[in-house]
Amino acid sequence: MPINVDGSQVERLGGLCLQVLLAARASWAADRQTFLFGDPSQELQTVLGAFGVAAPSLIYREE
């Protein structure tokens, strides 16, 4: 089923959690299901940037 992950309340993100998010996105994409990652907090955007990941890259939509 499609999923929408809300990142607005995220205060911390570790490397293992990021791996889970990336694996989930890949799994949903393989199943051609929508994986939305919306409203990332400023802290989340900062940590993602430190890992070299842009928040929009966590989104998958079948086009």
pLDDT over 90 (residue 20): yes
pLDDT of residue 62: 83
- Confirm if 58 and 21 have CB atoms less than 8 A apart: yes
- Confirm if 37 and 5 have CB atoms less than 8 A apart: yes
- Confirm if 53 and 20 have CB atoms less than 8 A apart: no
Domain positions in the chain: 3-58
pLDDT of residue 44: 95
Q: In this predicted model, what pLDDT tens digit does every residue of 25-62 receive, in sequence order? A: 999 999 999 999 889 999 999 999 999 999 899 999 98
